[in-house]
């Protein structure tokens, strides 16, 4: 029997690190535009929810086209006339570093806010999301002023000196999802600023709070007015207006494939630069010659970390037939021992899904899996009646063609597929419209490298899973996206290359 959390365990604790007002709410009701904290032009707000209980925790400003316009104009002025793009790289680096220091000084407050708004375990917010976000600002601080062009000998004429300049793209519109709110903000804001761009960022409607607090810290650090603007609001209004705005030079988006396609179509009207980090259905392939215990342990964290709400989730666990029984025994017994609990309790390892909508979507896929004839071997149910908790769920005997093997569920649902050999594994691994990440478990170096070479994925993990690092490029093949974030690759996405030809003849 899967252990489940009791309703008492799921009750909200009062925030310890964040103040609540006389209405029992957190204080985040305004947006950051041009260095000022402002209401939406419409005066409207919407509710931020604590997914652990489904209760309202704040009223957030509902930004729309008029607010995006003011923010985009402010970012334009800050880029065209402000000190930011002309500042020495080392000065910009100092500010990025200062943001990181302030985040570190306020790490407990930020981590709690992240958990209150997202439902992920506080332990993860504190030990993973926040440290990685802080490190991201520091990593890109190091690049500030070190993004360099080249001198290139022209092919056709010797009597000329030609070189390239790397210049910021301009005003960057950034649209981010709810699964790693502050980390997604860091991945987008830090490289944009390091390269001298200005930013208008729209958080996901579900998760604005930690990004608004980050905005306060950026102001405190001394980021000039208009350099970072935060417009809270909905995708179809604020998000769409940002993509359409003529003063926005680039859109960086992370989210669903469907919205990614809408954004790309809309951005075509003004021919904005577009980078997209979209979904996945990543295979985690276990060969019989690997350390099966370790592979099972990582297979579970690969799908259940962040309640499965990860673009890189190892949602297709693939096992070689000859090791199937042994592997499934470990995987299933471990999965059954995993429990969900109060996200604010530091002992909790799995928290709540983001929303009722997402929970229903996930439960819908579980139903589809059962109907398609896959074998439910762990979980499968909602936990409790408050909040949006779903048991860690494992389907065995999944066929490659089933919906649960092809579509991104974005929840704690693993589909186990059995394969015969390397070629069969590759065929199945590459047989979806996605190509974000892949894992391979084997002690045979040839097999590992052959696999890494032939799998269609932006990241391949050998004998590990879900490792990302601020220094390593991250992005997708096929419908998983366009462009790369993090590492030196991110700098390409936030700069133009200008060619200068100096004729000497």
In the residue annotation, 277 being an active-site residue is answered as yes
Residues paired with residue 164 on neighbouring β-strands, in sequence order: 499
Q: Site residues for ligand NAP, window 380-439 (CB under 6 A)?
A: 408, 410
Pick the catalytic residue from 277, 320, 479, 492.
Answer: 277
Among the residue ranges 120-128, 248-256, 291-299, 315-323, the one whose residues contact ligand NAP (CB under 6 A): 248-256
Residue with smallest beta-carbon separation from ligand NAP: 235
In the residue annotation, 329 being an active-site residue is answered as no
In this structure, the strands spanning 413-419 and 316-320 are: parallel
Nearest residue (CB) to ligand NAP, 136 versus 243: 243
When binding is defined by CB under 6 A, the residue of 256, 301, 332, 399 that contacts ligand NAP is 256
Q: How far is CA 317 from CA 116, 125, 193, 413, 425, in A?
A: 31, 26, 38, 10, 11
Q: Does position 311 bind ligand NAP by CB under 6 A?
A: yes
Pick the catalytic residue from 124, 205, 311, 485.
Answer: 311
Among the residue ranges 257-265, 285-293, 335-343, 494-502, the one whose residues contact ligand NAP (CB under 6 A): 257-265
The per-type count for the chain, helices as H runs and strands as E runs, is 17, 22
Among the residue ranges 17-25, 209-217, 259-267, 418-426, the one whose residues contact ligand NAP (CB under 6 A): 259-267
- Residue 470: CB minimum distance to ligand NAP, A: 17
- Residue 362: CB minimum distance to ligand NAP, A: 8
Q: Does position 278 bind ligand NAP by CB under 6 A?
A: yes
Closest CA to 492 of 87, 194, 264: 194
Q: How far is CA 122 from CA 149, 203, 337, 411, in A?
A: 43, 20, 20, 18
Nearest residue (CB) to ligand NAP, 193 versus 231: 231
Q: Site residues for ligand NAP, window 217-246 (CB under 6 A)?
A: 234-236, 239-240, 243
d(CA 194, CA 355): 34
Q: Does position 320 bind ligand NAP by CB under 6 A?
A: no
Among the residue ranges 4-12, 69-77, 222-230, 255-263, the one whose residues contact ligand NAP (CB under 6 A): 255-263
Q: Site residues for ligand NAP, window 171-210 (CB under 6 A)?
A: 175-179, 202, 204-205
- Residue 191: CB minimum distance to ligand NAP, A: 17
- Tell me the helix, strand and coil percentages in the chain, rounded to 5: 40, 20, 40
d(CA 47, CA 208): 10
Nearest residue (CB) to ligand NAP, 253 versus 451: 253
Nearest residue (CB) to ligand NAP, 243 versus 374: 243
Sheet containing strand 31-33, edge to edge, reads 36-38, 31-33, 228-230, 198-202, 171-175, 250-254, 273-277, 481-482
When binding is defined by CB under 6 A, the residue of 262, 330, 372, 376 that contacts ligand NAP is 262
- Residue 179: CB minimum distance to ligand NAP, A: 5
- Residue 460: CB minimum distance to ligand NAP, A: 18
Extended strands (E) in 67-159 = 151-152
Nearest residue (CB) to ligand NAP, 357 versus 469: 357
> Is 322 in contact with 368 (CB distance < 8 Å)?
no
Distance of CA 162 to the CA centre of its chain: 39
Please report the DSSP string for 234-245 in residue order. -IIIIIHHHHH-
Closest CA to 274 of 257, 256, 255, 249: 249
In this structure, the strands spanning 375-378 and 393-396 are: antiparallel
Q: Does position 485 bind ligand NAP by CB under 6 A?
A: no
Q: Which sequence positions are flagged as catalytic?
A: 277, 311
What is the contact surface with ligand NAP in residues (CB under 6 A)? Answer: 175-179, 202, 204-205, 234-236, 239-240, 243, 254-256, 259, 262-263, 278-279, 311, 361, 408, 410
């Amino acid at each position: 029997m899967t252990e489940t959390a009791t309703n008492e365990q799921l009750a909200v604790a009062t925030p310890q690190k964040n103040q609540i007002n006389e209405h029992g709410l957190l204080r985040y009701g305004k947006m950051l535009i041009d260095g000022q904290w402002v209401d939406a032009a419409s005066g409207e707000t919407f509710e931020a929810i604590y997914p652990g209980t489904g209760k309202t925790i704040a009223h957030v400003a509902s930004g729309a086209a008029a607010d995006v316009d003011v923010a985009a104009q402010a970012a334009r002025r800050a880029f065209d006339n402000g000190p930011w793009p002309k500042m020495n790289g080392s000065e910009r680096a100092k500010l990025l570093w200062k943001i990181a220091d302030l985040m570190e000084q306020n790490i407990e407050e930020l981590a709690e806010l992240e958990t209150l708004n997202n439902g992920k375990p506080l332990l993860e917010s504190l030990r993973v999301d926040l440290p990685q976000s802080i490190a991201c600002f520091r990593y890109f601080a190091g690049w500030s002023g070190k993004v360099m062009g080249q001198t290139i000998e022209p092919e056709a004429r010797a009597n000329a000196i030609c070189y390239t300049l790397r210049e910021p793209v301009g005003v960057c519109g950034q649209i981010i999802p709810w699964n790693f709110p502050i980390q997604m903000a860091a991945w987008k804001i830090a490289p944009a600023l390091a390269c001298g761009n200005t930013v208008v960022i729209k958080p996901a409607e579900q998760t604005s709070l930690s990004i608004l607090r980050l905005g306060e810290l950026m102001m405190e650090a001394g980021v000039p007015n208009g350099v970072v603007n935060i417009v809270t609001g909905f995708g179809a209004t604020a998000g769409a207006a940002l993509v359409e705005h003529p003063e926005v030079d680039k859109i960086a988006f992370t989210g669903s494939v469907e919205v990614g396609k809408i954004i790309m179509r809309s951005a075509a009207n003004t021919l904005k630069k577009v980078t997209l980090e979209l979904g996945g259905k990543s295979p985690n392939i276990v060969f019989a010659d690997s350390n099966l215990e370790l592979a099972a342990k990582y297979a579970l964290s690969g799908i259940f970390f962040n309640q499965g709400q990860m673009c890189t989730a190892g949602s297709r666990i693939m096992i070689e037939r000859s090791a199937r029984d042994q592997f499934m025994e470990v995987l299933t017994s471990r999965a059954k021992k995993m429990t969900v609990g109060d996200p604010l309790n530091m002992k909790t390892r799995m928290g709540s899904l983001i929303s009722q909508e997402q929970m229903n979507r996930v439960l819908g896929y579980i139903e589809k899996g059962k109907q398609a004839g896959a074998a439910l071997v762990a979980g499968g149910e909602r936990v409790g009646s408050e909040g949006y908790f779903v048991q860690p769920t494992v389907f065995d005997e999944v066929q490659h063609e089933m919906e649960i093997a092809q579509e991104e569920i974005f929840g704690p649902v693993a589909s186990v597929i059995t394969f015969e050999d390397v070629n069969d594994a590759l065929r199945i691994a590459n047989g979806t419209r996605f190509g974000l990440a892949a894992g391979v478990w084997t002690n045979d170096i040839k097999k590992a490298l052959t696999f890494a070479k032939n799998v269609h994925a932006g990241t391949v993990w050998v004998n590990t899973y879900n490792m990302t690092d601020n220094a390593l490029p991250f992005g997708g093949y096929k419908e998983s996206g366009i462009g790369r974030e993090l590492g030196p690759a991110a700098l390409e996405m936030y700069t133009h290359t200008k060619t200068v030809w100096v004729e000497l003849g």
